[in-house]
Amino acid sequence: MDQQKQKILIVDDEKGLRLGTKRLLEKEGFEVVAAENGTEGIAFGTSIEFDAAIIDMKMPDFDGIMVLKEIIKKYPNTACFIATAYASYDTAIESARVGAFSYIPKPFSPEELLLQINKGLEKRELNIQKEQWRKEREERLLEVAYEKTRLNTIINSISDGVLVINKNGEAVLYNPSALKFLVLKSITIEEYIIDKLPEKLAEQVNNFLKSSEYLKRSLTVQIHMKDNDLVVEATSSPVPAPDGSLAGVAIVIKNITELKKLEFLKSQFVSMVSHELKAPVAAVYGFLKLISDKSMNLSPEKQDEFIDRSIIRLDSLLKMVNDLLDISRMEMKTTQREIIELNLPDIINNILELFQLEINKKNIKIILNAALSTPSLSGDQDEITRLFTNLISNGIKYNKQDGSLNIKIEKIDDYLVTEIKDSGIGMKSVERNKLFHEFYRVKNEFTKDISGTGLGLSIVKRIIDSYAGKIEVDSEFGKGTSFRIFLPVIKNSQKNNKETLTNMQLA
């Protein structure tokens, strides 16, 4: 700007004055353009931006005021002067009204002219700067507004509830999740919100607002919302003002309903496990106390009996602990699986051999019915064996003397379906519904002498689920029970992959 010469326009029909002024100003280092009438003045003055214009008031075509108006319309920052020989109060007012910087009475001395022009240029600079500041400020405001919308969009899309309260207890900011988790129909910005909050949360927020000193830590509370099953966790944190005092409280509300349900199931499970583990311990403890108590005078036969019974209880306790460990391994999915092609009839024959003693004792008739073309099953040998061992073991344990156990294997659609049907004691429908629950055992006259952990079928269910299969139960009390196990058969196209996988794992 400093390097470039400042440009001045002279509009005057009086040639001598025009040229004289031009020369004077050029000597002062300005770039000067002269126009000899109003038309030319308007043409020049609106083609480029002049820093200043000296316009003669009286010209044959247009008057100076007209010229000035046109120039200012295009370049409002050009410092315009009206030069007039008829300087009057009215002229001054008129020129000022249309936006002239000042007026110069004719004739003028060079000093007078330069003084005026410099003042005008100064003013122009100020105006330009002012305008720039205004523009910058506008831009910044726009940016702030944009940031604010963006922030709102972000807060609204957060799945946790967000509610910000100022130090007067009025709502400042909230998102839709906050409405949902606080079970509120609406929140109005700047309304007093504390009374609308659940009691525990209101208390927590008041801890911040009513405290005489600034609490720096966050507070968390769990709230069971009335009238529905919603459980939320609200964390309130202080929001500092620039001066370090408390500006308000920001509350984040999380939906922890599912977590609470899981927690409840977990503690229920723990309590069941404890009870089941403690029962045999209590029995064995009772027997040992009796044996060790000399005042009881137990006969050697009685002592032996109690020792034997203790061993039986400890055996079943050990089985239960092992079953529990298996379940926990399945839950944590840490079981190492070795998927191979399995021949199900072979597996079942092997299991039946293991139970030969029990089968003979109860004189149970075994019928195994499997088509020759039974497709092979892809699975982990230990898991599949475990699955059918538990079911066959039940079929024998809960069977009657001289009963029967029918096992049928067939392919139905994409499933290998195994039916295991016993002629045992059967179940009532209430009992059937709880069958796969951990530790559930049907208790009645028939079952009181049958030992078990209550985990066998629960393990069966878990294994079947992990193979994306299903199990159906049909039972009639006193007549028998039949289980149908559906395990998906892997199609040939996928078989090659499976084999590769197997080889890799075996290698």
Partner 1 sequence: MAKIAIIDDDPDIIDASSLVLTSKGHEVITANNPDDGYKIVKENSPDLIILDVMMNEPDDGFFLAQKFRKNNINTPIIMYTSVSKTTGIDYGVNEMVPVNEYVEKPISPAQLIEKVEKLLHQNIER
Residues in CB range of 284: below 8 A, 6 or more apart: 310, 313, 314
Site string (413-452) toward partner 1, x via CB under 8 A: ------------------------------x----x----
Name the nearest CA neighbour of 12 among 56, 61, 67: 56
DSSP calls for 171-200:
EEEE-HHHHHHTT-S---TTSB-GGGS-HH
Give the range of 136-144, 268-276, 335-343, 372-380 binding partner 1 by CB under 8 A. Answer: 268-276
Q: Which of residues 138-177 bind partner 1 (CB under 8 A)?
A: none
Whichever of 141 and 282 has its CB closer to partner 1, that residue is: 282
Q: Give the whole-angstrom CA distance, residue 412 versus residue 419.
A: 12
State the first-to-last Cα distance of the chain, in angstroms, to the nearest integer: 82
Mask: binding to partner 1, 192-211, rule CB under 8 A, as x and -?
A: --------------------
DSSP letters spanning 338-359: -EEEE-HHHHHHHHHHHTHHHH
Question: Shortest distance, CB of residue 330 to partner 1, whole angstroms?
Answer: 23
Q: Which of 342, 332, 338 is nearest to 375 (CA)?
A: 342
Binding mask 278-317 for partner 1 (x = CB under 8 A): xx-xxxxxxx-xx--x-xxxx-------x--x---x----
- Compare residues 1 and 430 and give the one whose CB is closer to partner 1: 430
Closer CB to partner 1, 93 or 290, in the complex: 290
Helices (H) and strands (E) in the chain, counts: 15, 17
Binding residues for partner 1 restricted to 312-331, rule: CB under 8 A: 313
464 contacts 471 by C-beta, under 8 angstroms? yes
Question: What pairs with residue 481 in β-bridges?
Answer: 475
Q: Which stretch binds partner 1 (CB under 8 A): 123-131, 205-213, 265-273, 499-507?
A: 265-273
Residue closer to partner 1 by CB (options 172, 314) is 314
Q: Please report how close the Cβ of residue 264 comes to partner 1 at its closest, in angstroms.
A: 12
For residue 167, which of 243, 221, 225 has the smallest C-alpha distance? 243
Which among 214-222, 276-284, 332-340, 405-413 is the span making contact with partner 1, rule CB under 8 A? Answer: 276-284
> In whole angstroms, how close is the CB of 200 to partner 1 at the nearest point?
22
CB of 458 to partner 1, least distance (A): 17
CB of 272 to partner 1, least distance (A): 8
State the number of binding residues for partner 1 (CB under 8 A): 26
Residue nearer to partner 1 on the CB measure, 189 or 290: 290
Q: Which is nearer to partner 1, 281 or 371 (CB)?
A: 281
Distance in angstroms (rounded) separating the CA atoms of residues 117 and 353: 119
Q: Say how far apart CA 271 and CA 479 lie, in whole Å.
A: 34
265 binds partner 1 (CB under 8 A): no
Q: Which residue carries 């008829």 as its tokens?
A: 86
User: In the block, which residue shows the tokens 């944009």?
Assistant: 146
Judged by CB under 8 A, the stretch of 83-91, 256-264, 277-285, 464-472 that binds partner 1 is 277-285
